[in-house]
């Protein structure tokens, strides 16, 4: 088979690949990350590249993703272009996967409505009882009057420290116990791991090493993977790092990755990608904190059901296909080494339990982090991404559901939509025909991210540029309202202002997509409230979790009918509550127990089997809603 | 270092060894097993060999173990003779470790008082719930109305079969679950292992393999290792094999081996020896039954505390030294492969729990096998070897103790004593000056084994040849009563009758040793009875376990004061109850639970800390006893 060389600009990385390889695959091998929302199907248009030298073979006809000028300049979709000769390829900034805002922590204080668990007065206080404890013991040596076995002597002393339990022990530990005790004057440090109802002695070391005990809380998100390094002796967070989920190579959304995972040998690379992500996080955390990976004894990971399956190397294929069956929703505690994660060789990995195919451990973690399951008041939690997961309940009961929101909020499905990375327009204001916007990193605009789109649709409506049905007022005289093939579009940034030299626009079909997304989310919230027999005003708090939520303007989200019209102070950002919950489960066995309890007791309402949902969805395809009584505070 | 060649006859095996190697060590390396009761200390006289060509260097002076004639013929102790030139060495039959009677099963029906668990009407009936179960499931495929996770579907069906439990699962099992279910039409066989309170799914196979599930019950004795192969689906015993404990190379008794194990790197070879023993048993059982080792999923081993430590590779050093502390008395369930035992890779090994340093899992097994812990009546159990372990109790309470009996009953410590192997005199009768005896294998006599010694001392006393103090009536005119260096001895077999051409004799010091042994055992029984506040007549049954017990004449054992003088029908042989108990624990989780319960609840009376014991011992150094009221049925 013939081989050709491809050189990527501006990185000046080059690679030799076999004939027929796609540009996207070639880029992947040089570790250049190109947007890939649809997983290489050629339908999202996010992987545009410019072929500077050479020509490619494309199966698809001329794409609707390009202007005539772009086509002339050699723009192609990287995933659809096969290499048949040597190439030089420029990857434009909007196609690069870099510099994204990663929600690494709890809600920052400077964000509107932001609330960290420590600030919440009603926050459940879980005591510091980490998943893995290192306990220093000075044992009384045996005498004729007190000659219980060595392991019983250790257990007896452990019970004084951590309560009455039986302690299991692995054979290698037991084999070294007697000599270690006697060689070190009965001074040892015992590593005890909690595993469901049991305590297991995992390691016995001479003398006092109890201060060398660290853990990792990981949020395995579809887009990003974030980890906190925690000192398990004190509970203190030593550092936090985030990185892009390397699985993005196989698609930005969960479904694309599942499709790939179900092809022959497809699961392994996706599993390996998460492991590699976690490795790189451990590496940078270890470097910055000077804690060696060897001293990390526990990892608690939270992710949606599919991510949890990928992490553990479980096939997610049956989650996607009717009747939507995961392999497991409660996952066994394993040695991290079993899936190739290099921490202490006896270090364990817990994956927080899921509730259903589309309500995962990240939501369970969020419920525990928010304290919903500990309070008598009814509260809600929403995490908006490609799916919107919603949970409502209190310490007595919990219900949840999941709705597919489509890619709009993450920058897909709209002409100039993009992820929340550098150059994305994140805020927009329109006043008297004047548009002002703000981009991430204060860079020249490349496109619009989710929060920008919410702003935009709100501003367009407020200014009467679009109606409640999301259609442009075509009779309006506005230089920014233009038409392309008779499709109206609104220009937010003129060609001259942008990084690409192309205008950033918002088309009528874009608006329709966004209304569908917000409609599906609101319909889910409404359906769940109705399912419980409650009304919105009975919600004491409505927590908004996750990266998207964090940059959202609450009044605008309510005004377009995405979030329910309840008093604004009741809507609170909770940040990366998946990570917070994972850290709580890592540092407190009570919090871990609570996660298990939530996963077991929460009722999942399957919206596809819940007839009222479709009616709610249709009713929500308006700005803010067909039933205006649901949004009393929103003015026309 | 110089090397010399040693050739052993009659096997004609030869080996080259370094100068200074002992003959015993050289023999060991050629896999010729020589008696070694004292562990190479030169004090038992059991390793006599004849040097036919060449000469050896001996540190010790001329030994009392040899007649003048033997010394002239070149007899030496193999363990005390260093090789300094090429040798040819004959190993006489009495020094070979072969053809020993191994108690492989329950008490045979033809033995007096023999009783198998099946015959005992009061026997506890434990239901067939093996440690490892293979359960065939035909699962209903999921539907939209019934779309629980795959593992929950399996657990739900398992609960219908084996009751309500949570089931843990290993990651590799979980990783293959979904595909196996769907590839094989939801027909699978699940291997479930019980581990204390938990059930673990150890393996998931396509279709019905439930009939391929076998287990091994092993009695790890100091002298012999015996194994039964059991079909875990039916509970049927498929075969039984016994072999000599290969640790005999390092001493016949437990103490000698402990001493060796506590030298540098001494533990490993002793651990390896047991593992090798079990391998050879698996091999021969597998061959005869055509069950592949791969289909063995569980092993339950019972042994004394030291043997259990050796089996698991735990140091027994602190058992031997004050304050006598074992590493553990309850042992973790492990994968058999962890200690190198090759059965199914997921197959487990359970070691039955001990009670104290000198009351091990073999006694716990015996108590469960006998049903003592299940009955309201007070019953007793004794296992006589180098130690005598005694337990008394009922379903409410249990007490036990252990007394050192010395090597007499196993053929050590007496001039012509030998193990119960071919050529050993096992029965003796003296009537009107005429001696008749019976040897094992009806061979020409080589020596006297334990049961023969009991017979002999009884017959000598009954015929007035010795008195109650064990001294010969020196005035008696009896051609068999001879003197060597003024020490009286009784000739049982004349030189002309024996295999060796040496007479088989019983000396006055031999009798003194035997009386000490029987005295220590009886004193222990008496002390334990007194400790409980009971009297002998309150014992409903007194079980005699083990190889020695099995060939014992009860009336004679009572008459010499070894066993208590209770109605003879109350004394019952129970055979290898360690093996029986191990098999019960293998096939019934209730029996296993009972073993754990017995080990936790039985009170061990430490005789060395129990002042009355020494008085009882002194009082018992008589035939039958100084207090004749304890033996009302015994006539002078």
Helix (H) or strand (E) holding A193: strand A187-195
In this predicted structure, what is the pLDDT of residue A18? 87
In this predicted structure, what is the pLDDT of residue A104? 64
The 3-class secondary structure across B138-167, one letter per residue, is ECCCCECCECCCHHHHHHHHHHHHHCCCCE
Q: What is the mean pLDDT of chain B?
A: 90
Q: Is A265 exposed, middle or buried (0-12, 13-18, 19+ CB in 10 A)?
A: exposed
Alpha carbons A552 and A101: distance in angstroms, whole number: 14
Alpha carbons B266 and B346: distance in angstroms, whole number: 29
* Coil, helix or strand at residue B496: helix
User: pLDDT for B287-337, tens place per residue?
Assistant: 999 999 999 999 999 999 999 999 999 999 999 888 999 999 999 999 999
User: pLDDT for A98-132, tens place per residue?
Assistant: 555 566 666 543 333 444 444 443 445 789 999 99
Asked whether A583 and A237 are in contact (CB, 8 A), the reply is yes
Residue in B closest to A195 by C-alpha: B168
In this predicted structure, what is the pLDDT of residue B458? 96
- DSSP state for residue B480 in the 8-state scheme: T
Asked whether B469 and B522 are in contact (CB, 8 A), the reply is no
Report residue B27's pLDDT band, with 50, 70 and 90 as the boundaries: confident
User: pLDDT for A1-45, tens place per residue?
Assistant: 789 999 998 888 888 888 888 898 888 777 676 776 665 666 667
Q: Which residue has the higher pLDDT, B201 or A440?
A: B201
Q: Shortest Cα distance from B402 to chain A (angstroms)?
A: 16
Contacts for B137 with CB less than 8 Å, ≥ 6 apart: B154, B157, B158, B161, B187, B188, B189, B190
Q: Shortest Cα distance from B272 to chain A (angstroms)?
A: 14
In this predicted structure, what is the pLDDT of residue A223? 86
Task: Decide if B324 and A147 are in contact by the 8 Å CB cutoff.
Answer: yes
Asked whether B381 and B596 are in contact (CB, 8 A), the reply is no
Q: Shortest Cα distance from A535 to chain B (angstroms)?
A: 28
Residue in A closest to B319 by C-alpha: A149
- Taking contacts as CB-CB distances below 8 angstroms, the residues of chain B near A325 are 142, 147-150
Contacts for A287 with CB less than 8 Å, ≥ 6 apart: none
In this predicted structure, what is the pLDDT of residue B30? 76
Contacts for A515 with CB less than 8 Å, ≥ 6 apart: A457, A470, A621, A622, A623
Out of A90-99, A362-371, A390-399, B232-241, pick the least confident.
A90-99
Asked whether A379 and A541 are in contact (CB, 8 A), the reply is yes
- Which residue is listed with tokens 């754990």? B596
Task: Decide if B327 and A178 are in contact by the 8 Å CB cutoff.
Answer: yes
Total CB pairs under 8 A between chain A and B = 116
Alpha carbons A309 and A317: distance in angstroms, whole number: 10
User: pLDDT for B479-528, tens place per residue?
Assistant: 999 998 999 999 999 999 998 899 999 999 999 999 999 999 999 999 99
Beta bridge partner(s), residue B487: B484
Q: Shortest Cα distance from B178 to chain A (angstroms)?
A: 6
Please check the confidence at residue B132 and state whether its pLDDT lies above 70: yes
Chain A residues bordering chain B (beta-carbon distance below 8 Å):
142-144, 146-152, 166, 168-171, 174-175, 177-179, 182, 196, 198, 312-315, 317-318, 322-332, 334, 338-339, 357, 609
Instruction: Name the residue among A516, A530, A466 with its Cα closest to residue A619.
Output: A516
Q: Shortest Cα distance from B292 to chain A (angstroms)?
A: 27
Interface test with chain A among B177, B181, B318, B337, by most A beta carbons within 10 Å? B318
CA A23 distance to own-chain centroid: 27
The mean per-residue pLDDT over the stretch A223-231 comes to 94
- Taking contacts as CB-CB distances below 8 angstroms, the residues of chain B near A151 are 327-328, 330
CA A176 distance to own-chain centroid: 43
The mean per-residue pLDDT over the stretch A502-506 comes to 94
The total number of residues written for chain B in this structure: 636
In this predicted structure, what is the pLDDT of residue A187? 98
Highest mean pLDDT: which of B267-276, B427-436, B627-636?
B267-276
Asked whether B147 and A325 are in contact (CB, 8 A), the reply is yes
Helix (H) or strand (E) holding B401: strand B398-404
Instruction: Name the residue among B375, B381, B376, B366 with its Cα closest to residue B584.
Output: B366
Helix (H) or strand (E) holding A49: strand A48-53
Q: Which residue has the higher pLDDT, A373 or B100?
A: A373
Percentage of residues of chain A with pLDDT beyond 90: 70
Edge-to-edge, what's the strand order for the sheet holding A214-220?
A237-244, A224-231, A214-220, A296-303, A348-351, A334-335
Q: Shortest Cα distance from A310 to chain B (angstroms)?
A: 10
Please check the confidence at residue A579 and state whether its pLDDT lies above 70: yes
Residue in B closest to A151 by C-alpha: B328
Interface test with chain A among B140, B141, B145, B147, by most A beta carbons within 10 Å? B147
Please check the confidence at residue B120 and state whether its pLDDT lies above 50: no
State whether the Cα torsion A363-A369-A370-A376 is positive or negative: positive
Task: Decide if A334 and B171 are in contact by the 8 Å CB cutoff.
Answer: yes
Please check the confidence at residue A58 and state whether its pLDDT lies above 60: yes
Alpha carbons B606 and B615: distance in angstroms, whole number: 15
Alpha carbons A514 and A556: distance in angstroms, whole number: 14
- Taking contacts as CB-CB distances below 8 angstroms, the residues of chain A near B174 are 312, 314, 327-328, 331-332
Percentage of residues of chain B with pLDDT beyond 90: 70
Residue in B closest to A152 by C-alpha: B328
Please check the confidence at residue B101 and state whether its pLDDT lies above 70: no
Alpha carbons B597 and B83: distance in angstroms, whole number: 53
Alpha carbons A479 and A474: distance in angstroms, whole number: 12
Task: Decide if B325 and A609 are in contact by the 8 Å CB cutoff.
Answer: no
> Within 13 Å, how many C-alpha atoms sit on residue A260's CB side?
21
Alpha carbons A309 and A266: distance in angstroms, whole number: 13
Helix (H) or strand (E) holding A191: strand A187-195
Alpha carbons B177 and B174: distance in angstroms, whole number: 5
Report residue B103's pLDDT band, with 50, 70 and 90 as the boundaries: low
Q: Within a 10 A sphere around the Cβ of B84, how many other Cβ atoms? A: 15
Residue in B closest to A318 by C-alpha: B178
Please check the confidence at residue B468 and state whether its pLDDT lies above 50: yes
Distance (Å) of CA A167 to CA A193, B332, B335: 9, 10, 18
Contacts for A221 with CB less than 8 Å, ≥ 6 apart: A245, A303, A307, A362, A385, A547, A578
Alpha carbons B19 and B110: distance in angstroms, whole number: 52
Q: Which of B151, B178, B334 sits opposite A171 (nearest CB)?
A: B334
- Taking contacts as CB-CB distances below 8 angstroms, the residues of chain A near B178 are 314-315, 317-318, 327
Region of residue B196 (left: phi > 0; alpha: psi -120 to 50; beta: else) = left
- Taking contacts as CB-CB distances below 8 angstroms, the residues of chain B near A147 are 323-325
Chain B residues bordering chain A (beta-carbon distance below 8 Å):
142-144, 146-152, 166, 168-171, 174-175, 177-179, 182, 196, 198, 312-315, 317-318, 322-332, 334, 338-339, 609
φ, ψ of residue A293 in degrees (nearest 5): -55, -30
- DSSP state for residue A143 in the 8-state scheme: B
Instruction: Name the residue among B194, B185, B71 with its Cα closest to residue B139.
Output: B185
Please check the confidence at residue A59 and state whether its pLDDT lies above 90: no
In this predicted structure, what is the pLDDT of residue A348? 98
Report residue B83's pLDDT band, with 50, 70 and 90 as the boundaries: very high
Please check the confidence at residue B46 and state whether its pLDDT lies above 90: no
CA B575 distance to own-chain centroid: 11
Instruction: Name the residue among B271, B355, B364, B278 with its Cα closest to residue B314.
Output: B271
The total number of residues written for chain A in this structure: 636
DSSP string, B415-433: TTB--S-TTEEEEEEEETT
In this predicted structure, what is the pLDDT of residue B40? 65
Please check the confidence at residue A175 and state whether its pLDDT lies above 70: yes
CB burial readout A33-65, b (16+ within 10 A) else e: bbbbbbbbebbbbbbbbbbeebebeeeeeebeb
User: pLDDT for A351-362, tens place per residue?
Assistant: 999 999 999 999
The mean per-residue pLDDT over the stretch B391-404 comes to 96
Please check the confidence at residue B63 and state whether its pLDDT lies above 80: no
Percentage of residues of chain B with pLDDT beyond 70: 92
Q: Which of A144, A147, A169 sits opposite B332 (nearest CB)?
A: A169
The mean per-residue pLDDT over the stretch A535-558 comes to 87
Q: Which of A170, A175, A330 sits opposite B314 (nearest CB)?
A: A175
Q: What is the mean pLDDT of chain A?
A: 90
The mean per-residue pLDDT over the stretch B379-394 comes to 93
Task: Decide if A174 and B327 are in contact by the 8 Å CB cutoff.
Answer: yes
Helix (H) or strand (E) holding B69: helix B68-72
Q: Shortest Cα distance from B340 to chain A (angstroms)?
A: 13
Beta bridge partner(s), residue B198: B195
State whether the Cα torsion A611-A614-A616-A619 is positive or negative: negative
Highest mean pLDDT: which of A285-299, B37-51, B73-87?
A285-299
Please check the confidence at residue B107 and state whether its pLDDT lies above 90: no
User: pLDDT for A375-390, tens place per residue?
Assistant: 999 999 999 887 899 9
């Amino acid at each position: 088979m013939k081989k050709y060389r491809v050189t990527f600009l501006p990185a000046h990385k080059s690679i030799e690949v076999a004939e027929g390889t796609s540009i996207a695959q070639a880029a992947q091998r040089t570790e250049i990350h190109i947007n890939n929302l649809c997983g290489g199907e050629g339908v999202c248009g996010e992987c545009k590249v410019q072929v500077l030298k050479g020509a490619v073979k494309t199966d698809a006809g001329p794409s609707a993703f390009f202007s005539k000028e772009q086509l002339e300049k050699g723009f192609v979709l990287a995933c659809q272009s096969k290499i048949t000769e040597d190439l030089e390829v420029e990857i434009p900034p909007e196609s690069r996967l870099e510099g994204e805002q990663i929600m690494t922590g709890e809600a920052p204080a400077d964000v509107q409505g932001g609330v960290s668990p420590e600030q919440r007065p009603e926050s459940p206080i879980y005591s510091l009882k980490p998943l893995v404890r290192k306990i220093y013991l000075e044992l009384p040596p045996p005498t004729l009057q007190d000659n219980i076995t060595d392991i019983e002597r250790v257990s007896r002393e452990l019970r004084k420290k951590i309560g009455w339990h039986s302690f299991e022990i692995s054979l290698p530990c037991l084999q070294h116990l007697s000599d270690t005790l006697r060689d070190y004057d009965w001074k040892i440090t015992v590593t005890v791991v909690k595993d469901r109802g049991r305590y297991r002695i995992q390691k016995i070391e001479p003398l006092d090493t109890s201060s060398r005990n660290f853990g990792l809380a990981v949020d395995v998100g579809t887009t990003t993977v974030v980890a906190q390094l925690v000192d398990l002796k004190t509970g203190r967070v030593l550092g936090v790092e985030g990185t892009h989920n390397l699985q993005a190579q196989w698609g930005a959304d969960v479904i694309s990755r599942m499709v790939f995972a179900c092809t022959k040998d497809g699961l392994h690379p996706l599993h390996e990608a998460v492991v590699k992500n976690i490795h790189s996080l451990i590496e940078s955390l270890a470097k910055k904190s000077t804690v060696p990976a060897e001293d990390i004894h526990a990892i608690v990971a939270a992710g949606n059901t599919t991510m949890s399956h990928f992490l553990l190397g479980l096939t997610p294929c049956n989650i996607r296909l009717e009747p939507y069956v995961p392999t497991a929703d409660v996952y066994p505690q394993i040695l991290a080494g079993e899936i190739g994660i290099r921490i202490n060789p006896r270090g364990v990995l817990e994956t927080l339990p899921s509730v259903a195919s589309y309500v995962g451990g990240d939501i369970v973690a969020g419920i525990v982090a928010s304290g919903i399951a500990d309070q008598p008041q009814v509260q809600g939690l929403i995490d908006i991404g490609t799916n919107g997961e919603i949970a409502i309940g209190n310490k007595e009961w919990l219900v949840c559901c999941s709705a597919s929101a489509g890619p709009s909020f993450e920058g897909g499905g709209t002409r100039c939509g993009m992820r929340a990375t550098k150059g994305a327009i994140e805020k927009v204001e329109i006043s008297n025909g004047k548009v002002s916007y703000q981009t991430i990193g204060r860079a020249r605009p490349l496109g619009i991210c989710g929060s920008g789109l919410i702003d935009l649709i709100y501003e367009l409506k407020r200014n009467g540029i679009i109606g409640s049905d999301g259609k442009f007022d075509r009779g309006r005289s506005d230089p920014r309202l233009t038409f392309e093939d008779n499709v109206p579009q609104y220009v937010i940034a003129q060609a001259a202002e942008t990084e690409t030299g192309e205008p950033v626009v918002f088309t009528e079909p874009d608006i329709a997509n966004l209304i569908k997304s917000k409609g599906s989310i609101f319909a889910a919230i409404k359906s769940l409230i109705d399912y419980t027999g409650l009304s919105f005003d009975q919600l004491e708090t409505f927590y908004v979790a996750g990266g998207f939520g964090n940059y959202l303007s609450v009044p605008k989200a309510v005004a377009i009918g995405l979030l329910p019209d309840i008093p604004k102070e009741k809507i609170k950002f909770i940040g990366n509550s998946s990570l917070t919950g994972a850290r709580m489960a890592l540092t407190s066995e009570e919090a871990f127990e609570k996660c298990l309890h939530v996963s077991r007791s929460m009722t999942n309402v399957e919206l596809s089997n819940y007839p009222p949902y479709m009616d709610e969805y249709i009713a929500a395809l308006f700005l803010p809603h067909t039933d205006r009584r649901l949004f009393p505070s929103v003015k026309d």
